[in-house]
């Protein structure tokens, strides 16, 4: 077994053709993503960060955004990858404060 995640890849700064190039060159990415960066299906892709970091070194000006939603509730994140470095931003679930006037 393993942990499955749904992925989406985009380029925030740079040539959007890089997504197709990455997917074509990377067997794991081609299983997880179509050539536009949309999710093919939820899958196991444990080396996504390592593989995107390596690819980003070849395209240092591009900023890649990889979104992921894991099988466990609340496991939602975005990774920004640029020039071999990565920042991971995890989702935070917030509830509104109680407001007596909103009771119906």
pLDDT band at 14 (very low <50, low <70, confident <90, very high): confident
pLDDT for res 50: 98
pTM above 0.95, yes or no: no
Tell me the per-residue pLDDT of 27-78, one tens digit each, with 9 for 90 and over: 999 999 999 999 988 999 999 999 999 999 999 999 999 999 999 999 999 9
| 22-54 CB burial, b ≥16 within 10 A, e <16 | bbeebeebeebbeeebebeebeebeebeebbbe
């Amino acid at each position: 077994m393993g942990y499955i995640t749904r992925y989406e890849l985009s380029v925030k700064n740079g040539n959007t053709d890089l997504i197709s190039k990455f997917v074509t060159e990377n067997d794991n990415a081609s299983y997880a993503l179509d050539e536009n960066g949309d999710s093919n299906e939820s899958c196991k892709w444990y080396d996504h960060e390592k593989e995107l970091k390596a690819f980003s070194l070849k395209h240092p000006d591009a900023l890649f955004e990889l979104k992921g939603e894991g099988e466990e509730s609340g496991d939602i994140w975005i990774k920004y990858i640029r020039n071999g470095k990565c920042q991971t931003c995890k989702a935070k679930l917030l509830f509104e404060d109680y407001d007596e006037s909103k009771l119906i």
